[in-house]
């Protein structure tokens, strides 16, 4: 018998869709949230050099990351995010991806039965992590434009609330939250004596003049803000599993306990890769991300013929389209039908907590432009037929 706590956690949806995709050869997958390009060449050169010359790679390292990498991260945070991650009451902690950083944070701040506010639709791994930790996710719907509703967040708070989670740019909707909104949420968290967990994994993926804002840069925010970042997306390092967080100093010992038990230390060879990527710099990422903008627009144009049956708030960040459909179909059944009959895979919106009608998430970042547009064409034809 598995534990009741784990039994109630939703099954990861990506492996399910992956299995259906493999069973239908030729299917174009617009499901998983990764980029199609490879990491910088310097990553492979650095790893190759370290494999030959660094005889400490097969040893345990520092629980929170090697100084070579954490120093580079601190410099990046100050330069790009205006976050002081050293000497300002906060510290950098490396983890095996931002997902681990999020789970570390929840385990550090939450007791069994405590509540964590998520904005819906939410990133499903956040919901899963909260339940695995024995806490309770409280889902607050966003507006029709996929923006946070501050008054609804206030109404959802209770004496058990420990944190509000924001994801901007957003997965699954692609929404970018304004600096004003994030300031208000951060101030509310400070006023209520709770944490603001800011997931910024898609910080570089911006379109139409949208700007990214890090709440951890605000004066006094270091005491109650946990900022999460990832190298998986922009640098194409998803499989290397390196992320990092900025954590208030009073939580560092707790996170050390958690990470030492679960991971011991971030894999040292992956830290070599991450350091090489950061030394290449953000401009390398921006050059590649810029090429996604026309793919996004072409995808929106291709789906425009469904506007009477399919609502898409134009995403200004990340690399997702979130389709709200006028349909009585169950979204998971619809996904299975699209794979079987049209050869295109997307994710069901219910996996992200969107249960008010039928919805789908499509990624336009994981494949080359021609493949994405072929997949979007198949999606358009399938939805036109089914809806």
How many whole angstroms separate alpha carbon 97 and alpha carbon 237? Answer: 10
CATH 3.90.1150.10 domain residues, the chain: 4-30+291-386
CATH topology of domain 4-30+291-386: 3.90.1150
Q: Tell me what pLDDT residue 246 has.
A: 98
pTM over 0.85? The answer is yes
- Per CATH, is 41-280 categorized as 3.30.70.20? no
pLDDT digits (tens, 9 = 90+) for 98-152: 999 999 999 999 999 999 999 999 999 999 999 999 999 999 999 999 999 999 9
CA distances to 70, 193, 239, 278, 370 from 282, rounded to whole Å, are: 17, 34, 19, 7, 26
Number of C-beta neighbours around residue 287 at 10 A? 10
User: 300 pLDDT exceeds 90?
Assistant: yes
Percentage of the chain beyond pLDDT 90 is: 93
Whether the CB-CB separation of 309 and 104 falls below 8 Å is answered with no
Which regions of the chain carry the CATH code 3.40.640.10?
Answer: 41-280
Looking at residue 87, what is its pLDDT?
A: 80
Rounded distance between C-alpha atoms, residue 354 and residue 139, angstroms: 10
Measured from the Cβ of residue 168, the count of other Cβ atoms closer than 10 Å reads: 28
Rounded distance between C-alpha atoms, residue 236 and residue 317, angstroms: 17
pLDDT at residue 205, as a whole number: 98
pLDDT over threshold 90, residue 355: no
- Calculate mean pLDDT across residues 84-105: 94
When pLDDT is averaged across residues 76-100 and rounded to a whole number, the result is 94
Q: Which residue has the tokens 């919901």?
A: 127
């Amino acid at each position: 018998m598995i534990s009741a706590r784990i039994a109630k956690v939703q099954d990861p949806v990506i492996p399910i869709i992956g299995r259906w995709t493999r069973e239908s050869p030729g299917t174009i997958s617009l499901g998983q949230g990764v980029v199609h390009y490879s990491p910088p060449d310097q990553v492979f050169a650095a790893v190759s050099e370290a494999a030959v010359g660094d005889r400490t790679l097969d040893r345990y390292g520092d629980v929170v990351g090697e100084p070579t990498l954490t120093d580079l991260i601190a410099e990046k945070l100050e330069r790009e995010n205006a976050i002081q991650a050293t000497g300002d009451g906060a510290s950098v902690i490396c983890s095996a991806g931002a997902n681990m950083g999020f789970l570390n944070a929840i385990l550090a701040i939450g007791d069994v039965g405590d509540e964590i506010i998520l904005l819906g639709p939410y990133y499903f791994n956040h919901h899963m992590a909260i339940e695995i930790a024995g806490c309770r996710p409280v889902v607050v719907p966003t507006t029709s434009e996929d923006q946070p509703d501050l008054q609804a967040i206030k109404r959802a708070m209770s004496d058990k609330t420990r944190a509000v989670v924001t994801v901007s740019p957003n997965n699954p909707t692609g929404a970018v939250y304004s600096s004003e909104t994030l300031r208000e949420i951060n101030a509310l968290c400070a006023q209520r004596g709770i944490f603001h967990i800011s997931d910024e994994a898609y910080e570089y993926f911006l379109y139409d003049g949208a700007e990214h804002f890090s709440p951890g840069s605000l004066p006094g925010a270091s005491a109650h803000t946990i900022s999460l970042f990832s190298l998986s997306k922009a640098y194409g390092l998803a499989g290397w599993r390196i992320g990092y967080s900025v954590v208030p100093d009073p939580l560092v010992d707790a996170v050390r306990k958690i990470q030492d038990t679960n991971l011991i230390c971030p894999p040292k060879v992956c830290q070599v890769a991450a350091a090489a990527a950061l030394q290449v710099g953000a401009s390398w990422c921006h050059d590649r991300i810029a090429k996604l903008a026309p793919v996004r627009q072409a995808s929106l144009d291709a789906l425009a013929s469904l506007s009477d049956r399919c609502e898409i708030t134009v995403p200004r960040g990340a690399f997702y389209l979130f389709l709200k459909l006028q349909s009585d179909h169950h979204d998971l059944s619809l996904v299975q039908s699209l794979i079987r009959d049209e050869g295109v895979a997307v994710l069901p919106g219910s996996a992200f907590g969107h249960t008010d009608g039928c919805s789908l998430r499509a990624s336009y970042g994981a494949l080359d432009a021609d493949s994405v547009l072929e997949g979007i064409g198949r999606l358009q034809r399938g939805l036109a037929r089914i809806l």
